[in-house]
Amino acid sequence: MKYLKQLLIIVFIAMIGEMMNYFIPLPVPGSIYGLVLIFLALNFKILRPEQVNSCGKFLLEIMPVMFIAPAAKLVSSWEIVKSVLLPGTLITCLTTVAGMVIVGRVTQAVIRKSRKGEK
């Protein structure tokens, strides 16, 4: 019963995120709205971690199962995927490295700024 209650909380927040996606004319997926909503609810203590923790852990554990269908589709579409494999891989690697560098620099700047504020 605990898992069902926690799942209903998560699904309810996800549903609100999808409704926000429908009514707010921004190119943001409903799942992102849902993530932000659950983050804010946890951050402002509207929702306690114990209220969604067990179900959240379970959903994270079964997440790889959700990738089976897309992986099977990639295998069956190999002729189409083959032509964009190299450019896609290069773009993915370059943007990953760029993202890591940017996040690292911003983090270093924030740490330096907070150290200066402490002094």
> Can you tell me the distance from the alpha carbon of 61 to that of 7, in angstroms, rounded to the nearest whole number?
14
Q: What is the pTM of this model?
A: 0.63
> Can you tell me the distance from the alpha carbon of 69 to that of 6, in angstroms, rounded to the nearest whole number?
26
Q: What is the pLDDT of residue 80?
A: 87
Which tens digit of pLDDT belongs to each residue from 45-67?
Answer: 999 999 999 999 999 999 999 89
Which tens digit of pLDDT belongs to each residue from 25-40?
Answer: 999 999 999 999 999 9
Which tens digit of pLDDT belongs to each residue from 107-118?
Answer: 999 999 988 877
pLDDT at 81 over 90: no
The mean of the pLDDT values for the chain is 93
What long-range pairs does 7-16 form, CB within 8 A, spacing at least 24?
A: 7/55, 9/47, 9/51, 9/52, 9/55, 10/38, 10/52, 10/55, 10/56, 10/59, 13/37, 13/38, 13/41
